[in-house]
Amino acid sequence: MNKKNLIGIDLGSKMAGTTSICFYMDDYLHFETSRKNQDADNMITRLLWSGNYKFVFIDAPLSVPAAIYNKSYHNYFYRICDEQLGAMSPMFLGGLTARAIKLADSMRQQIVFRECYPAALSKMLALTEQGYKSDVVYINKCIRALQIHYDIQLKTKLNFWHEFDALLCWIIGWRYLTERVDVFGDENEGLIYV
């Protein structure tokens, strides 16, 4: 298991400057965040092609409800994994879902993409009590809470919750590689890793 083969992505709006990537290099976790009016998809693609990455854990839907293409399913809005975790519908997220699926399909031959849900990991670790997703001044407190459970060292201070969610995506990926991940959903429809 090589930490260098893993990337966590909090996928935000394409041009809003809300996409963050977490990756491991030189014994530290590093972050790259898109800027407003910068194409986040191009930033992700450039970074993925520049390294020897094998796994991407992304906070964005990588499938749609199976009822759309398989009439033995009945829910056209939520997948089973969404219902189990209380996650937003891929249909509601529309364009974000389409971008994530397109990105994964374009690199599927070289890189394994897995959908993850950082908010679920934050619940498991009781990060809400530490200020998760409230004022940015609580980011460091949440990082310290993570460091109780995971041996992580950050290269720089985090300034945005998008970066923190990218970190949670990376940790979910590490949980996957070390066989400690929780999996939700139906394999034929779509899985979410936590």
Question: What class, spelled out in words, does domain 3-193 have in CATH?
Answer: alpha beta
Alpha-carbon gap, residue 141 to 157, rounded angstroms: 12
Closest by CA position to 94, among listed 11, 18, 188: 11
Q: Which residues contact 185 (CB under 8 A, 6 or more apart)?
A: 79, 80, 81, 84, 191, 192
Per-residue pLDDT of the chain (194 residues; tens, 9 = 90+): 789 999 999 999 999 999 999 999 999 999 999 999 999 999 999 999 988 899 999 999 999 999 999 999 999 999 999 999 999 999 999 999 999 999 999 999 999 999 999 999 999 999 999 999 999 999 999 999 999 999 999 999 999 999 999 999 999 999 999 999 999 999 999 999 99
* 3-state SS, one letter per residue, for the chain: CCHHHEEEEECCCCCCCCCEEEEEECCEEEEEECCCCCCHHHHHHHHHHHCCCCEEEECCCCCCCHHHCCCCCCCCCCCHHHHHHCCCCCCCCHHHHHHHHHHHHHHCCCCEEEEECHHHHHHHCCHHHHCCCCCHHHHHHHHHHHHHHCCCCECCCCCCHHHHHHHHHHHHHHHHHCCCCCEEEECCCEEEEC
Given this model, what pLDDT does residue 98 score?
A: 97
Q: Which residues contact 47 (CB under 8 A, 6 or more apart)?
A: 7, 21, 23, 32
Alpha-carbon gap, residue 61 to 191, rounded angstroms: 9
Closest by CA position to 113, among listed 173, 187, 28: 173
Given this model, what pLDDT does residue 52 score?
A: 87
What pTM does this model have?
0.96
Domain segments of the chain as ranges: 3-193
Please answer whether residues 24 and 4 qualify as being in contact, where contact means their C-beta atoms are separated by less than 8 angstroms.
yes
Given this model, what pLDDT does residue 1 score?
A: 73
